[in-house]
Structure 1
Amino acid sequence: MAQYFEVHPDNPQPRLLKQAVALLERGGILAVPTDSSYALACHLDDKAAADRLRQIRGVDDKHHLTLLCRDLSELANYARVDNRQYRLLKSATPGAYTFILEATREVPRRVSHPQRKTIGLRVPDHRALQELLLLHGAPLLATTLIPPNESASLNDAQDIRDRFEHQLAGVIDAGACPSEPTSVIDMTPMGTGGEPVVVREGRGDVSALGL
């Protein structure tokens, strides 16, 4: 049964988050709140956990998974970013945006997109998740928590626990999330002088980025 961690949204209790981090380090899958919707998250370097994450979500290896990063400096370890891309990222982070970028060798090949060698990265603007990432000390591999054969993301932590309690190691309840997906921006064309492409408009305001 999934452990349930009720944390304060603005001042999350480190003791509870440390317990959640311990579950990640043992290969567990967590449901975590973000600034868009709840997400499934696991340890980046745990292949078995990544496989289970995809299984719970009902997606194959062609589905873009996302790295949740604490800040831009951490993001830059996992993606190739030139000066132009960096300026756009700096103006948009933290925030409800997912950026598709060329993956570096720090990203396990089984995690990046099999054809394009790209990865989705984001820096969430959510206090409890930021504290979790800080305590974990590395990015988390994640995907939006949308049940198989459904189209809407889940927003209520108790509902998530009821539906996935036998598949998850833990659920972090920091209150309801906005329940709106991130805006997805493909930045790979910028590497060859092109312009970023808005793949999906969501919670992040793309007009604020000049797109």
Structure 2
Amino acid sequence: MQEENGNKVKTRVFRVSEENFEAVLEEAAAIIRSGGTVAFPTETVYGLGADGLNPGAVRKIFEAKERPPGNPLSLLVHSREDLEKVAKNIPEKALKLMDSFWPGPLTIILEKNDIVPEITSGNLQSIGLRMPDHRIPLELVKRAGTPLAAPSANLSGKPSPSLAVHVVADLSGRIDAIIDGGDAAIGLESTVVDMTVEPPVVLRPGAVGIEELERVIGKVRSGYKDANVGTDVVKLDKKAGQKYRHYTPDTKVVLVEGEGKSVSDKIVELLEKYRSEGQKVGFLFSEETAGLFTLKGLNTGEFFLLGSREEPEVAARKLFEGFRELDRKGLDIIVADGSFSRSGLGEALINRLREASSVRLAV
């Protein structure tokens, strides 16, 4: 278990298989029941779980992640019974969303019951709830007998973990156990929709798009940062409602947004500019931009290929891995390709790229 004196914790890593599934999940559930912390895969990203109704256990999540106090967590549930234990005044529209998208990558914000500790809800009267579409967290919630507070299993503000090795890199020595269940299928965090207001508001885009939500419940508003930019450089400042930065590598990120070849040409221009300044540059590429570099015979240096512009789902699965890979290279700048299609997971992909960038260029 985690030590109270600040010393490092011995973090156990369980590599789960069909042969050891029962034993691993039972041991992990026992850690949760005794107030400990366990990281595990979901279909979105790896989560860091603890008993969401135990303030002491939840506090360990904040300590392990170095998460700012007052930053609310969401809860993972296994059943409607779990839901009714922690939420009240559940609107009919929320039930329709559950019928359509649970289990799945959709977090629904509802009024909370008093059983949910203030540390879990960030002193708010609401709580985010999700039923994950992944066998491991569902079984862990069921066996632990409690909803799990489960933010992403990374140091606060850093790129979310899509692989167990990312969790090990960030949290080994800080948490009790990590369940290695392979890579996360989606690679980006869930869509978050606030159902305590009317019309409902999407606070974070994810695999469930606004159009899909509206087909089920009607009008839905977008409440996340609209990052439409002009043709000039946009330097980002913290604004009201944007207190905490997320998904941010240590290396400065310059995001180039626009259409097709114009983005590729701008990235070539930036390569030449940064090289002339003696800076070490890395790239998050689309296949199309990488092809232009090859055509021009450019030695790109450090780069990570996300995939085709027309396949944002592929790029989404690789995004956080790409940031982490490039962050280890001792670079001065990462130039990110923002030419991906906005269809499907594209909106969420661009949202995460915008969140990670300190400079954006539109071409």
What TM-score, normalized to structure 1?
A: 0.88
Deviation at 1:12, TM superposition (A): 6.8
Indicate the SS of the match to 2:203: strand
Does residue 176 of the first structure (1) align with residue 211 of the second (2)? no
Match of 1:79 among 80, 87, 94: 87
Worse overlay, 123-132 or 55-64: 55-64
Q: Would the aligned equivalents of 1:97 and 1:204 in 2 still touch at CA under 8 Å?
A: yes
Q: Would the aligned equivalents of 1:33 and 1:173 in 2 still touch at CA under 8 Å?
A: yes
Q: Would the aligned equivalents of 1:71 and 1:94 in 2 still touch at CA under 8 Å?
A: no
Does residue 43 of the first structure (1) align with residue 47 of the second (2)? no
Query: Structure 1's 149 and 82: CA in aligned 2 closer, same or farther, altered over 3 A?
Result: closer
Tell me the distance in 2 between the aligned counterparts of 1:22 and 1:187.
33
Match of 1:200 among 190, 204, 207: 204
Indicate the SS of the match to 2:202: strand
Structure 2 counterpart of 1:136: 144
Deviations 1:101-126 (A, max 9, x none): 11012212332232x31111100000
Tell me the distance in 2 between the aligned counterparts of 1:207 and 1:71.
26
Worse overlay, 163-172 or 53-62: 53-62
Indicate the SS of the match to 1:85: helix
Match of 2:108 among 73, 77, 99: 99
Tell me the distance in 2 between the aligned counterparts of 1:209 and 1:28.
36
Query: Structure 1's 16 and 199: CA in aligned 2 closer, same or farther, altered over 3 A?
Result: same
Query: Structure 1's 87 and 101: CA in aligned 2 closer, same or farther, altered over 3 A?
Result: same
Deviations 1:44-80 (A, max 9, x none): 2332221120122222332120110012332122112
Q: Would the aligned equivalents of 1:32 and 1:171 in 2 still touch at CA under 8 Å?
A: yes
Deviation at 1:149, TM superposition (A): 4.1
Query: Structure 1's 163 and 200: CA in aligned 2 closer, same or farther, altered over 3 A?
Result: closer
User: What residue identity is the alignment partner of 1:198?
Assistant: V
Tell me the distance in 1 between the aligned counterparts of 2:113 and 2:53.
15
Deviation at 1:3, TM superposition (A): 1.1
Deviation at 1:182, TM superposition (A): 0.7
Identical columns (%): 28
Using CA pairs under 8 Å that are at least 6 residues apart, name the structure with larger relative contact order, 1 or 2.
1
Gaps of 5+ in 1: none
Deviation at 1:198, TM superposition (A): 0.8
Deviations 1:21-51 (A, max 9, x none): 1111222111111110011110123322211
**Larger gyration radius, structure 1 or structure 2:** 2
Indicate the SS of the match to 1:111: helix
Structure 2 counterpart of 1:124: 132
Tell me the distance in 2 between the aligned counterparts of 1:175 and 1:85.
31
Deviation at 1:11, TM superposition (A): 8.2
Structure 2 counterpart of 1:188: 196
Gaps of 5+ in 2: 1-9, 215-219, 221-363
Indicate the SS of the match to 2:193: strand
Tell me the distance in 1 between the aligned counterparts of 2:137 and 2:207.
17
Structure 2 counterpart of 1:3: 12
Deviations 1:79-118 (A, max 9, x none): 121323222222221110111111012212332232x311
Match of 2:164 among 157, 171, 194: 157
User: What residue identity is the alignment partner of 2:129?
Assistant: L
Tell me the distance in 2 between the aligned counterparts of 1:209 and 1:163.
34
Tell me the distance in 2 between the aligned counterparts of 1:128 and 1:36.
13
Indicate the SS of the match to 1:134: helix
Deviations 1:108-145 (A, max 9, x none): 2332232x311111000001111111211221111112
Query: Structure 1's 181 and 149: CA in aligned 2 closer, same or farther, altered over 3 A?
Result: closer
Indicate the SS of the match to 1:45: coil
Aligned length: 204
